[in-house]
Amino acid sequence: MTREFDNHETDTAFDALLEATVDGIIIIDQAGTVLRFNKAAEQMFGYSEAEISGNNVNRLMPEPHHGHHDAYLAQYASTGQGSIIGDGREVAGLKKNGETFPMFLSVGEIKRQGAWRYVGIIRDLTDVQAGREQVRELEEQLFHADRLVILGELTAGIAHEINQPLTAIAAYADAGKRMVNRNSAVSNNEIDSICERIAEQSRRAASVVERLRKLVRSGTVSKGQHEINQIIRNTLLLFEYEVKKLNIDLRFYPLEPLVELYVDEIHIQQIMVNLIKNGIDAIADSGASNGRIEIRVSKLASDVVVSVSDNGPGVPEQYQSQLFDSFFTTKPKGVGLGLSICKTITGAHGGSLTYTESKQGGSTFTLSLPLELIG
Amino acid sequence: MQEPLVCIVDDDEAIREALRLLLYSEGLNSVVFESADAYLAEDISPECMCMLLDIRMPGTDGLELFRILKKQHLAFPVIFITGHGDIPLAVSAIKQGAFDFLAKPFQEGELIRKVKAAIHHFQKNRKALEKRRALKLRVDSCTPREQDVMMLLADGLPNKGIAEALGISPRTVEIHRAHVMEKMNADSLPALVKMITSLGP
């Protein structure tokens, strides 16, 4: 330590400043040894200045920075590379009691007469992060509510999808009973085959319930590797009945070869459900009897592109710019959140969602998702 | 004698097979079709004694197939298979002449009971239908003029009155009348009147 710095650092005005500031301030030397540790820092980390002074600053960091910090300093001192000086970032801090907390760290450099010091200014982000998490939670609740609303509108179709296997099961069981009661010559093979069919249809019903359970599920986002064609197929199942009822010609052109995306499966399904439902509603409202919906998955450069086209009336030009705005709707009973939620979800996946007029004169929504892993 | 044959038209494979098996357990033969078009391609109607028809199918749906069958004057009974929300549709199908409908899932024994009732109904009325068809063929074998004379006879007009109504001689009416009695295979005027009345307006 040089005199100049000692003089400066013991300056009473400087001490008062350190004392008064609400941000944590830590001054270290080139080796990472703590020289000063202000009151705000004491409160954040739980160490007193006396306790921490003379110790390596890496004591305030969890891994991996704890182990690497000395090397960072050495590298910066010798090459000037790899510093965070002049620019701040969010990192984790390690308290005396072992807890970590989110903080915003900016580092400045003091270089005077050959002696280097670094000043770290720290803002505790615990409250900010809690706020962000709350926003995320509320957002997730909103997504969940949107899924429930759509499922509510699809009840008839869902009932149909469960009713079909149940009908088959009841009929198989009825047949089996009759065969056993009336015909003593019924073979084990026949009974075996009936039981197998009943089991198969039970699994069919269970898989419908499982898919629904997933969509109805609330809670946190979980991304994973999912095959895009399969995500879409799972969604289509919900619409089979409605499509049949309105006599819509729905065609799905899956992507070959198969591609896995790192996505939240339920959120992508939510987008698909919204887009397909919009297409069906558009066709139903127009009263057309030759409704068509085309879902096409393709690969474009480093994106997977899913387009949903209908031959409904399309979106009038004056509404197109508001299409993805919250609370904008043209449906009499709509809330106007579906597409805005889809856009938010798409953004969280690093993708894009756009509207164009379809070749058939209706709407085309194009969902683009990057192939590369997105956090 | 033909074996009773039930035609099952449903786009859901599991339902088709379950129905087929259920009918089989009662000794009833059936054939299954996955769509209305698959059925129409087969030309099996002359053998069909009862049809189980799914009301909702992709492509040509159940109600549409029913209309096609009616146009072809096919008289076998049609039982519609309907889902939960389709009762109003089923009711309108009954009004258009469907024999009955079954809501999914079926109650135990309900399907067998209704199919048997339909086959029984068809077999009972089949003779009457065939008789009616034969009678119509006989009517068709008469010339238009003979048919005119026949209708006026059925209205109770004497030869003279018929001659005046048609502007022909009583002698000519006499000849037409003899031909009508012969072609219709009627041995008396009351027998002829009965035949004409049974055909309805």
Chain B: nearest CA to A274, how far in angstroms? 23
pLDDT at B1: 38
Terminal Cα-to-Cα distance of chain A (whole angstroms): 44
What does the pLDDT look like over A336-373, one tens digit per residue? 778 888 988 898 888 999 999 887 789 999 999 998 75
ipTM above 0.85, yes or no: no
- Residue A346 included in any domain: yes
Number of domains in chain A: 2
What does the pLDDT look like over B124-156, one tens digit per residue? 888 887 777 678 878 888 999 999 999 999 888
Residues of chain A with pLDDT > 90, as a percent, come to 38
Residue A1 pLDDT level (bands cut at 50, 70, 90): very low
- Residue A172 included in any domain: no
- Residue A114 included in any domain: yes
- Residue A182 included in any domain: no
Q: Is A309 exposed, middle or buried (0-12, 13-18, 19+ CB in 10 A)?
A: buried
- Residue A246 included in any domain: yes
- Structure tokens given for A79: 């090459």
Torsion sign over Cα B111, B115, B121, B124: negative
pLDDT at B165: 93
pLDDT at B158: 92
Q: Is B33 exposed, middle or buried (0-12, 13-18, 19+ CB in 10 A)?
A: buried
Phi, psi of A92 (to 5 degrees): -100, 140
Tell me the residues of A at the B interface, defined by beta carbons under 8 Å apart: 156, 159-160, 163-172, 174-176, 178-179, 182-183, 194, 197, 200-201, 204, 241, 243-245, 247
Q: Is the pLDDT of residue A23 over 50?
A: yes
Using the structure block, give the residue that is written with the tokens 């009972």. Answer: B124
Chain B residues with CB under 8 Å of A244 CB are 56-58
What does the pLDDT look like over A253-312, one tens digit per residue? 999 888 888 888 888 999 999 999 999 989 988 887 789 999 999 998 889 999 999 999
CB contact under 8 A, B25 and A175: yes
pLDDT at A67: 87
Residue to mutate among B25, B35, B81, with most A CBs inside 10 A, is: B25
CB contact under 8 A, A179 and B25: yes
- Structure tokens given for A14: 């400087």
- Give the residue, B24 or A5, on which the prediction is more confident: B24
- Domain around A254: 221-375
Contact A116, A110 (CB under 8 A): yes
Using the structure block, give the residue that is written with the tokens 């053998």. Answer: B47
Chain A residues with CB under 8 Å of B58 CB are 243-244, 247
CA-nearest residue to B15 within chain A is: A168
- Residue A237 included in any domain: yes
Enumerate domains of chain B plus CATH numbers: 5-128 (3.40.50.2300), 142-199 (1.10.10.10)
Residue partners of A89: CB distance under 8 A and separation at least 6: A104, A105, A106
CB contact under 8 A, B15 and A170: no
What does the pLDDT look like over A229-242, one tens digit per residue? 999 998 888 888 88
Residues of chain A with pLDDT > 70, as a percent, come to 93
CB contact under 8 A, A163 and B84: yes
> How big is the A-B interface in CB pairs under 8 Å?
79
pLDDT at A373: 59
Query: Which CATH number does the domain housing residue A13 bear?
Result: 3.30.450.20
Per DSSP, chain B holds a count of helices (H) and strands (E) of: 9, 5
CB of B165 less than 8 A from some CB of A: no
Q: What is the mean pLDDT of chain A?
A: 86
Q: Which of A124, A149, A170 is the last residue of a domain?
A: A124
pLDDT at A184: 64
Q: How are beta strands A100-112 and A115-124 bridged, if at all?
A: antiparallel
- Residue A88 included in any domain: yes
Nearest CA to A226 among A188, A269, A190? A269
- Give the residue, A275 or A146, on which the prediction is more confident: A275
- Both A116 and A258 in one domain: the answer is no
